[in-house]
Amino acid sequence: MDKLLLPLLLIGGLFSSACFALGGWSGASKISQIYPAPGENGILIKHGSMPNPDNCPSPSYYILKKDNILFNEIYALLVAAQARQASINIQVVGCGGSKDVFPSIFQVIAE
């Protein structure tokens, strides 16, 4: 029984750690630029605070990928926040874009 339990615990630990490795948060700041980038299949964003927790090669922009399940909602929130000069907090997870070079937006919170 113990010989079976250890491998199951190790496999479970690998899956649970992958689920919780969720990049990082930018901190509340304002959007300074929104750039639709068809070649990147998404929207490029410049934000007042842009940490790069996953060490993506090109951290000068964040990307909101078209395949994000909440793309329309997040894009609407980003445009509204920029128009109102409101602060938002962005969670980036992994790298995205045509060559996976930009920190990828996972979710956004309006402050």
Q: Give the pLDDT score at 22.
A: 72
- The pLDDT tens digits for 11-53 are 444 443 344 447 899 999 999 999 998 899 999 999 999 999 9
pTM of the model: 0.78
In the chain the domains, ranked by start, together with CATH numbers, are 23-110 (2.40.50)
Q: Read out DSSP for 10-73?
A: HHHHHHHHHHH---EE--SEEEEEEEEEGGGTEEEEEES----TT--S-TTSEEEETT-TTHHH
Please check whether residue 28 is in contact with residue 67, taking contact to mean a CB–CB distance below 8 angstroms. no
